[in-house]
Structures are given as C-alpha cells and as structure tokens.
Structure 1
C-alpha cells in the first residue's frame, strides 16, 4: 500500500522487526474472492489503538509478510478486522489466507501504522475501487461520527465482487453510490470532479487506472485536496549516485558498504539488523527507518515532498544515499 497523503509517517508504528502473535478469531466470506479475518490476542487482551487509514503487517506462518488495511470498528479495543482479496497473479500471500488460514490459527502482526490518515475537513468525497474500500470504510464511519458532509463513490467489477457493499448501503443509504462496472460502466469522474469543491478533501484507493483517472479529473483542485493510497509503486528515475556509499548502524556500531547491486535493506540485514519488510518496492511502508545523519535518495512511493525534505527517515528497501555516508537508527 502506498500513499501520496500529507501524513505523519511513523505514527503508531511498531518497532522494526517486531511482530505480535494474534489468533484468527473469525473468518467470513464478504464478497466474491474476498474473505475477512477477525484477529485477537490469544489471551483476549487489549490491542494497540489505531486510526482510520491504518494498516497492519500480517506475517504468515511460512514467513511471507503482507499489508492489509484495518476495516473494522476502531473503538473495539480487542479485535482487528482485515479483508483479503484473492490475487491469482500475486506472490502467494492472498492464496495462503484464502486456502489455509482458519479460525484458531496464529499469525504474526506488525503495526498498526498509518500513512493514509483522515485529516480534518468540512467535507469528504471518498472514491473506492474494488478492495480499495478497506481503508475508506473506517474513514466513512469516522466522518459520519464527526458530523462531516461526505459521500462515497464505490466502483467494482460486479456487485458480487464488492466487499462490504451491503454494510455500507444499509447504514448510509443514498450517501453511498455503488457503481458496478458490468451494470453501469465506469463512473464519469470528469463530471464529478472537474470543478473543485471548496472545503472538500478527496480520498481515493483502488487500482492504478482509477487513481490515474481521479488525479486527471482533479487537476484543477488545490494542493493536498486529493489523497491517494496506491497498490503499486510510482515510476522512478535513476538513483542520484551509482557508486558505493557507507551506512553506519548507530545502535550496533557496525558500518557497511552498500554497493550499486544491493539495497540498503540487504546490506544492513547482512550486518545483523532486524528490519521488518514486505513489498521491497517502496510501497507498503513497513521498513521505515529513522535517519540520524546524511541525506537519503528517497525512492519510495509513500513519503510526501515535505517529509522527504526533512531527511529524518527513509524506506531502506528502495531508497539510497545522495552522499558518501548515512547514519541510521539501527
């Protein structure tokens, strides 16, 4: 998951490398090829708080780590809910969840962390495509709780493929606009978004074509009015430097040389640093690492321009160094 949101990266995130053990308390089919999991502590104890837009790292028994948005009741202190779409062309994580995870099974969970926060606004226009409804679902609940003016445009291939569709329409009626593509075609985003709406924030999550269409339709909107969460990495130019650089791990005192053919993540792991990671494409936000000295060459699809200028953190799976040396809090 990736965001262009103006967010406070690092809020509520777990220590790198740490994952708690939770149990699958319940499992439910919520749409065609989508199952939801309810997770809880084995002892029934309280879980860390979270805010709308948060996701967790699900560490599967075979070692794979995947990110899923929290889409349950944020005021329920004892359970997390996620929803997982089966991805036939994926790397196997969704297939494991669908085919093998059952109530009573235990999984590792890192986080929660939030790179896609719901910022205060008078009005919201939420746009979801398919499984992109998951981070927006608690945002809708929060906007309603705060008394904000909001509406949701929810598109999918078919009604049967759209998770939580009935839950939303039952609760909010005509404020939820359901657009199954096989019945109604694609929504007219240019007509919906071509004219900026004062005081409105647009939140969008879904496949890349939807995000591109929304971005184009919102070209005339003011900066930061549009906030994305992406599933795939944005295109990147070449790195700032093609030569080796040094990375000091301040906590351990080790210094490693990062050559062009290896990532910072690979290099620091070889030196013994325990850094939790998943996508290794700069999209999920899992491997966020504090920077104590030096200037990173940011190559992720998560940080905002403001956060990049701060130079106080980096995603070590893809980002590199602009200079000869970086010092990381590892």
Structure 2
C-alpha cells in the first residue's frame, strides 16, 4: 500500500470565500477550466498544493453530489504555515492546484445508527457525513463541540439542515453541556458506529471513552490531520530493497530523513504520520508504529510503516522502497 498524492493534479479556482469566524474561512473550489470535478464520498479529503511547495490535506465539508468542493480551513497559529498561507493568499478568483479526492474515513453502510462527533475544525468531514446520511434517510446524530458559539463555523447552515439531529456542546456553557462519549456509546443501540475528528487530544479522549463503553474497535472510526509524535529512540539499520541502499537511522533522526540523506526519495507531506503519503511495505523486521494513519489491525500485521515518524523494534528493517 502506498497512498501518495495523485500525479494528475487539478487546477482549481476559488469561486467563493466566506469568513465564517475570526479564524475559520470556507473556500468553494471548482475546476478552473469549467470541467466537472471528480465525484467524492463523505469523509473524503483533498490535497492543496501551495505555490510555496507546501502540501496540506483538508476534508471536503459539503454534500457529496455538489458540483464544488468546499473546504473549511482554520488559520492555526500553531501550524507549520500551510493554513496561514491559504488565508493570506486565496481570494475569490485565485487559482490553486489540488488533488482528486481520497477517502480513508468512509461511512460504514451497515451502521444502524451513526454518532458523528466533531471537535472545532474537525466538524468539516462530519458535515459531509451528515448530508450523506440525511440524503439516505439513515439514523444519525451530529455532535458539534467547540469552545464557544462565536467560534463555531457553519452554525446556521447546520441548524437549518439538521435540526434536532444537531447537538451543540460549547465549553463556555458549563460542564452539563459537554459531550459525553462514554454515555452516548453505552446508551446507543446495537450496530451503532462512532465517527470522530478534531484536535489530537480531543480525538484520543473520545476514542478511549468509546472503548471504555464497550464499543467494538471496528465500530470506531477516526481520521487525524495533525498530531504530536515522538520520533526519537535507539539507532537501527534500514535497507531500501529497491535500490539496495543501507542507512543507519540515528537516535534523533527519522527513517525518511536518513533515506533522503542517502539519496532515496520518500513521498512525504504531513511529516506527522497522519496523511499516509509515505506508507511503504515492510519486507523484514518489526516496526515501532508511531503514526496515526494505520488502523490497529494494520499495525498488528507489521507489514507497513510510516517512515516519516515510526521506528524499529528490531535492529534492522528492510523496506520495499
């Protein structure tokens, strides 16, 4: 498996920009030449390729079947610059290169009920999911968690489109208003699936609460778009099987950095183990998984690794790269 950016990028134009809050803007994109955009499913995201060379992933936040792609982007002061560049440079009429949609966060069609929990800007993929579930007349709840009502993007749209299926949880409204993932999962009917997106700490908490409530691992779905990762550890050897290059990965070096220094190219965009662009096959050795992309089942197989952040449990890894 190697989930790299598509070579055939799309030249898109910003049809509309709407500042939702002081730090969140919505961008509606269409193909610059007027041709139809590739269809997408709820949970999908696209890569945005900036003029500076930075590549960032953003969820599509509108209804599948729409003729445009809508992104909701937080101008995050703690980001590595991508969101700031987008907020500063993209206006109505601006052109930008994007990828076709990819979906690592799909809805499960077998779910009897869906709990959608979005924290902050993590609401964006949940909006597309809610539209898809509503169109299919399927049972769901959309829980929107935010610090305050003034920081909640798309709020009027969500109230209008989803009515009583929308539940709002604002931190400044008191503890009684906070979301209770454990309680939601414990009281949910059999066959319920949980979907969560948001800041790393929030997602980790929701996932652990769901597990504590006894929800099966296969019914808990999530997608990280940023994460703090610890990449340091004991030194080990990596062999790039396709070229025969052998490198020593130092204690404070990533596999990708060591390979790059030896002339081996590794496709890599997030550098945090969340986008999957660098995933490659493991031919020998046992990985020390530190990514947020592979599922628990995929990690247990130990036949894939994210070289941007993961390390080795064995003295040597042989990678199909």
- TM-score tier by shorter-chain length is 0.7 to 0.9
Aligned to 2:11, which of 15, 21, 29? 21
Aligned to 2:223, which of 229, 246, 251? 229
Counterpart-to-counterpart distance in 1, 2:116 and 2:196: 6
Unaligned runs of 5+ in 2: none
Single out whichever of 137-146 and 296-305 deviates more from structure 2. 296-305
Structure-1 residue corresponding to 2:316:
324
Structure-2 residue corresponding to 1:286:
277
Single out whichever of 50-59 and 224-233 deviates more from structure 2. 224-233
Aligned to 2:172, which of 182, 192, 196? 182
Structure-1 residue corresponding to 2:107:
118
Contact 2:17 2:26 in 1 (8 A): yes
1:88 aligns with 2:77: yes
Counterpart-to-counterpart distance in 1, 2:55 and 2:291: 18
Q: CA 1:79–1:294 in structure 2 vs 1: closer, same or farther (change >3 Å)?
A: farther
1:163 aligns with 2:157: no
Query: Secondary structure of 1:281's match?
Result: coil
1:211 aligns with 2:203: yes
Displacement of 1:124: 0.6
CA-to-aligned-CA distance 1:273-323 (integer Å, 9 cap, x gap): 55442221212323233x273345132111112212444543221134546
Q: CA 1:259–1:30 in structure 2 vs 1: closer, same or farther (change >3 Å)?
A: same
Aligned to 1:136, which of 126, 136, 144? 126
Counterpart-to-counterpart distance in 1, 2:121 and 2:222: 14
Q: Which has the higher contact order (CA 8 A, sep 6+)?
A: 1
Q: CA 1:242–1:33 in structure 2 vs 1: closer, same or farther (change >3 Å)?
A: same
Q: CA 1:22–1:311 in structure 2 vs 1: closer, same or farther (change >3 Å)?
A: farther
Counterpart-to-counterpart distance in 2, 1:215 and 1:292: 28
Displacement of 1:188: 4.7
Counterpart-to-counterpart distance in 1, 2:9 and 2:306: 18
Counterpart-to-counterpart distance in 2, 1:70 and 1:200: 24
Q: CA 1:167–1:281 in structure 2 vs 1: closer, same or farther (change >3 Å)?
A: same
Contact 1:69 1:82 in 2 (8 A): yes
Counterpart-to-counterpart distance in 1, 2:22 and 2:163: 22
Displacement of 1:170: 0.4
Q: CA 1:258–1:196 in structure 2 vs 1: closer, same or farther (change >3 Å)?
A: farther
Counterpart-to-counterpart distance in 1, 2:58 and 2:107: 17
1:33 aligns with 2:19: no
Contact 2:63 2:132 in 1 (8 A): no
Displacement of 1:84: 0.5
- Give TM-score scaled by structure 2 length: 0.84
Aligned to 1:197, which of 189, 214, 217? 189
Query: Secondary structure of 2:135's match?
Result: helix
Single out whichever of 258-267 and 89-98 deviates more from structure 2. 258-267
Unaligned runs of 5+ in 1: 1-8
Query: Secondary structure of 1:31's match?
Result: coil
Structure-2 residue corresponding to 1:257:
247
Aligned to 2:237, which of 238, 244, 266? 244
Query: Secondary structure of 1:84's match?
Result: strand
Single out whichever of 309-318 and 90-99 deviates more from structure 2. 309-318
CA-to-aligned-CA distance 1:191-246 (integer Å, 9 cap, x gap): 4344453111111112244334423432122322222233443766975x622221
